[in-house]
């Protein structure tokens, strides 16, 4: 840690603060001792997050899971620099969260697709490139790649109100990938979709992630979703929001995970482990028994 | 490719062209739709006109109580150039007033949306302007600008048009969805980029709604202002002149001109509004 070795992946910015160690710079996200306290109307305070320590390795898929109000979305917003921590330090590829945002080190997708309704699918995907002064020809080429990646080539000229919820979310994912970020931040992107669409989107996300090799921080409150997608599931609990457990669930390389995995014993084991971490072992046992009756 | 079976994609959306077309045209062709929308009110209008004609003629109602549709039509044909001229005079006042009121409304709405203190200052003033029947100040304005000037009528039309444009545009400027704001921040977009890419497009449909409401108000105000004096041209003047000389059917002929003028303003601004809010 203290060796003066050159920093391996600081990226284009020289702004990495001197406190950053080379090891940190190799990680996608490093969160240390983060606390976020919201001050209410009458001076009442709500501790949304406290004592958060989290490291996301480059190329790793990490899910944040927990009940409503556990601060998982707040944590994602802090990493994205859409909000600032009251205490603690956040590094994204060795840079401050702010610098990472300015450098466009991450792509982001929200629960609402958040497409601009007056722009076509292609123009929506193009938006970040356009804002950052990419030439028209390059934009066109990149948009063509991205609509193909998310399977919407035939819909590039359509408007968001002509698309289903699942298709809109695919556009939002394509948009988040526009600048080839090494980190994807996703805040319940499939939360508003029906179960069938949701499972298809999960499989697609795994494929896209395998193709891009990006690290992903994925907020969800679905246990099967977290287990199916993640290399590691971070379990959080509310009042105050904190990390209570981390479970390695890597069920094989992202590219090789298919629909069969959803019926695999390892998948159920992962689901049970996460459920136990969330609710305690008794609840998990009861639910597990019920599931056995349901499935067979 | 998606890695999805085609059937899976198909379930997500029926063929998009037909879905979009359906929304635009309804289930039938454009002519069927035209017939369905336009014919019933036209038929009702014709029935009413015939009914009035029948009542007026059979009961021998005098023209100063109710002019018969046939007499109004005869007057409309006879005085067509005058009706057209009066309509254009009033229409021009209304149009200039609408443009001035809309421009001021938009500019002040932008300022109010940017600076909260200005918003606080403007809100009560606009509320006062909104509740005062603005044509009531017409006599005062005629004294100020002289009885041969159209300026007072234009001012009245613009004040009437200003209120809905200002209120709706201001509301539109505040309609930026939080997710869009987050998105622009994640792109570290400059405030000008955010204004151009998100704020203005979000506000546009609201602006056009305000403009549609304002267009009717501008016509009504420009016309009613003529009742209180000023140059003797325009529909309001013509209606009072005709009524004063007991030419009731002619007065009604000018009223028809006023109806047509109002419809033109309303139809044009409605069309613009629809075009602006196609994809919402």
A273-287, B101-115, B120-134, B241-255: least confidently modelled range: A273-287
At residue A291, the pLDDT reads 44
3-state secondary structure of A282: helix
Q: Is A158 on the interface with B (CB under 8 A)?
A: yes
At residue A254, the pLDDT reads 58
Segment A228-252 shows an average pLDDT of 81
By Cβ distance, the residue of A81, A110, A163 closest to B179 is A110
CB spacing of B20 vs A82 below 8 angstroms: no
At residue B238, the pLDDT reads 87
3-state secondary structure of A296: coil
Instruction: Check pLDDT > 60 for residue B233.
Output: yes
At residue A259, the pLDDT reads 67
B137 compared with B266, residue with greater pLDDT? B266
Instruction: Check pLDDT > 90 for residue A170.
Output: no
Contacts with B117 (C-beta within 8 Å, 6 or more apart), sequence order: none
Mutate to test the interface with A, among B7, B15, B192, B279 (most CBs of A within 10 A): B279
In angstroms, rounded to a whole number, what is the distance separating the alpha carbons of residues B72 and B158? Answer: 32
State how far residue A194 is from chain B, nearest Cα, in angstroms.
11
pLDDT (tens digit per residue) in A217-230: 999 888 888 888 88
Instruction: Check pLDDT > 90 for residue A206.
Output: no
Cβ-Cβ pairs closer than 8 A, A with B, add up to: 78
CB spacing of A116 vs B201 below 8 angstroms: yes
pLDDT (tens digit per residue) in B172-211: 888 888 888 888 888 888 888 888 888 888 888 899 999 9
CB spacing of A128 vs B187 below 8 angstroms: yes
* Residues of chain B contacting A104 with CB distance shorter than 8 Å: 187-188
Q: Is A190 on the interface with B (CB under 8 A)?
A: no
State how far residue A72 is from chain B, nearest Cα, in angstroms.
17
**A176 — pLDDT class (breaks 50, 70, 90):** confident
For residue A273, give both structure tokens.
């482990």
State how far residue A208 is from chain B, nearest Cα, in angstroms.
9
3-state secondary structure of A35: strand
CB spacing of B186 vs A106 below 8 angstroms: yes
Mutate to test the interface with B, among A107, A111, A118 (most CBs of B within 10 A): A118
State how far residue A159 is from chain B, nearest Cα, in angstroms.
7
At residue A163, the pLDDT reads 85
At residue A258, the pLDDT reads 67
Complex prediction ipTM: 0.76
A32 compared with B4, residue with greater pLDDT? A32
* Residues of chain A contacting B200 with CB distance shorter than 8 Å: none
CB spacing of A164 vs B12 below 8 angstroms: yes
For the A26-104+215-295 domain, the top CATH level (class) is alpha beta
At residue A25, the pLDDT reads 61
Mutate to test the interface with A, among B1, B5, B7, B12 (most CBs of A within 10 A): B12
At residue B100, the pLDDT reads 95
For residue B226, give both structure tokens.
């003529």
By Cβ distance, the residue of B2, B13, B186 closest to A82 is B186
CB spacing of A203 vs B2 below 8 angstroms: no
- In chain A, the residue whose alpha carbon lies closest to the alpha carbon of B3 is A204
Q: Is A203 on the interface with B (CB under 8 A)?
A: yes
- In chain A, the residue whose alpha carbon lies closest to the alpha carbon of B1 is A151
Instruction: Check pLDDT > 50 for residue A1.
Output: no
CB spacing of B4 vs A117 below 8 angstroms: no
Q: What percentage of chain B carries pLDDT values higher than 90?
A: 19
At residue A5, the pLDDT reads 44
**A295 — pLDDT class (breaks 50, 70, 90):** very low
**A14 — pLDDT class (breaks 50, 70, 90):** very low
At residue A21, the pLDDT reads 55
Residue A16 to residues A12, B225, B272, Cα–Cα distance (Å)? 10, 69, 52
At residue A292, the pLDDT reads 40
* Residues of chain B contacting A131 with CB distance shorter than 8 Å: 187, 189, 193, 197
CB spacing of B279 vs A132 below 8 angstroms: no
Question: Which residue shows structure tokens 């076509």?
Answer: A120
CB spacing of B20 vs A158 below 8 angstroms: yes
Of B236, B101, B230, the residue nearest B167 (C-alpha): B101
> pTM of the prediction?
0.70
Q: What is the 3-state secondary structure (H, E, C) of chain B?
A: CCCCCHHHHHHHCCCHHHHHHHHHHCCCCHHHHHHHHHHHHHHHHHHHHHHHHHHHHHHCCCCCCCCCHHHHHHHHHHCHHHHHHHHHHHHHHHHHHHHHHHHHHHHHHHHHHHCHHHHHHHHHHHHHHHHCCHHHHHHHHHHHHCCCCCHHHHHHHHHHHHHHHHHHHHHHHCCCCHHHHHHHHHCCCCHHHHHHHHHHHHHHHHHHHHHHHHHHHHHHHHHHHHHHCCCCCCHHHHHHHHHHCCCHHHHHHHHHHHHHHHHHHHHHHHHHHHHHCCCC
Segment A158-183 shows an average pLDDT of 85
Instruction: Check pLDDT > 90 for residue B62.
Output: no
Segment A252-260 shows an average pLDDT of 64
Contact A99, A90 (CB under 8 A): no
Instruction: Check pLDDT > 90 for residue A50.
Output: no
* Residues of chain B contacting A207 with CB distance shorter than 8 Å: 3
Contacts with B39 (C-beta within 8 Å, 6 or more apart), sequence order: none
Residue A96 to residues A73, A100, A233, A265, B8, Cα–Cα distance (Å)? 19, 6, 24, 41, 42
By Cβ distance, the residue of B177, B182, B204 closest to A82 is B182
* Residues of chain A contacting B183 with CB distance shorter than 8 Å: 108, 110, 114
At residue B242, the pLDDT reads 86
Instruction: Check pLDDT > 80 for residue B82.
Output: yes
Q: Is A47 on the interface with B (CB under 8 A)?
A: no
* Residues of chain A contacting B9 with CB distance shorter than 8 Å: 151
State how far residue B45 is from chain A, nearest Cα, in angstroms.
38
Mutate to test the interface with A, among B1, B9, B177, B183 (most CBs of A within 10 A): B183
* Residues of chain B contacting A127 with CB distance shorter than 8 Å: 187, 197
**Domain range annotation of chain A:** 26-104+215-295
By Cβ distance, the residue of A101, A117, A148 closest to B280 is A117
């Amino acid at each position: 840690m203290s060796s003066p070795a050159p920093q391996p992946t600081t990226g284009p910015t020289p702004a990495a603060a001197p406190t950053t160690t080379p090891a940190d710079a190799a990680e996608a996200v490093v969160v240390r001792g983060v606390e976020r306290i919201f001050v209410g109307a009458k001076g009442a305070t709500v501790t949304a997050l406290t004592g958060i320590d989290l490291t996301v390795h480059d190329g790793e898929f990490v899910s944040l899971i927990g009940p409503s109000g556990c601060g998982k979305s707040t944590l994602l917003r802090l990493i994205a620099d859409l909000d600032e921590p009251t205490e603690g330090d956040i590094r994204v590829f060795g840079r401050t969260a702010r610098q990472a945002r300015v450098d466009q080190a991450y792509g982001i997708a929200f629960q609402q697709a958040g497409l601009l309704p007056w722009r076509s699918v292609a123009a929506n995907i193009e938006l970040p490139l356009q804002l950052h002064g990419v030439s028209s020809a390059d934009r066109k080429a990149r948009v063509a790649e991205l609509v193909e990646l998310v399977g919407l080539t035939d819909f590039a000229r359509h408007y968001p109100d002509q698309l289903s919820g699942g298709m809109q979310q695919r556009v939002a994912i394509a948009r988040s990938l526009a600048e080839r970020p090494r980190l994807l931040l996703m805040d319940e992107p499939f939360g508003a979709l029906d179960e069938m669409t949701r499972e298809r989107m999960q499989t697609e996300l795994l494929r896209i992630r395998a193709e891009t090799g990006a690290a992903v921080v994925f907020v969800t409150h679905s246990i099967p979703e977290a287990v199916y997608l993640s290399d590691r599931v971070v379990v959080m609990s509310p009042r105050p929001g904190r990390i209570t457990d981390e479970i390695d669930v890597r069920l094989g390389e992202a590219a090789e995970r298919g629909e069969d995995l959803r019926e695999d014993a390892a998948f159920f084991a992962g689901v049970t482990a996460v459920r136990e971490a969330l609710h305690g072992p008794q609840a998990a046992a009861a639910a597990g028994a019920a599931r056995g009756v349901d499935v067979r | 490719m998606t890695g999805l079976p085609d059937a899976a994609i198909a379930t997500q959306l029926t063929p998009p062209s037909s879905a979009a077309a359906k929304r635009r045209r309804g289930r039938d062709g454009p002519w069927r739709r035209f017939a369905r929308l336009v014919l019933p009110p036209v038929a009702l209008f014709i029935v009413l006109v015939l009914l009035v004609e029948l009542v007026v003629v059979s009961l021998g109602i005098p023209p100063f109580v109710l002019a018969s549709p046939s007499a109004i039509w005869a007057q409309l044909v006879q005085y067509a150039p005058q009706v057209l001229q009066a309509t254009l005079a009033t229409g021009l006042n209304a149009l200039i007033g609408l443009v001035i009121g809309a421009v001021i409304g938009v500019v002040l709405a932008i300022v109010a949306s940017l600076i909260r203190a200005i918003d606080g200052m403007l809100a009560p003033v606009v509320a006062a302007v909104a509740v005062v029947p603005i044509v009531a100040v017409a006599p005062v304005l005629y004294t100020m600008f002289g009885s041969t000037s159209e300026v007072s009528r234009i001012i009245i039309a613009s004040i009437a048009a200003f209120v809905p444009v200002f209120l709706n545009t201001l509301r539109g400027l505040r309609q930026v969805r939080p997710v869009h704001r987050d998105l622009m921040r994640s792109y570290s977009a400059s405030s000008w980029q955010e204004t151009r890419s998100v704020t203005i497009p979000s506000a546009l449909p609201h602006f056009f709604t305000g403009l549609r409401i304002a267009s009717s108000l501008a016509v009504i105000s420009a016309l009613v202002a003529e009742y209180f004096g000023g140059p003797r041209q325009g529909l309001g003047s013509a209606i009072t002149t005709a009524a004063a000389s007991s030419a009731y059917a002619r007065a009604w002929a000018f009223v028809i001109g006023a109806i047509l003028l109002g419809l033109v303003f309303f139809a044009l601004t409605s069309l613009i509004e629809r075009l602006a809010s196609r994809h919402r």
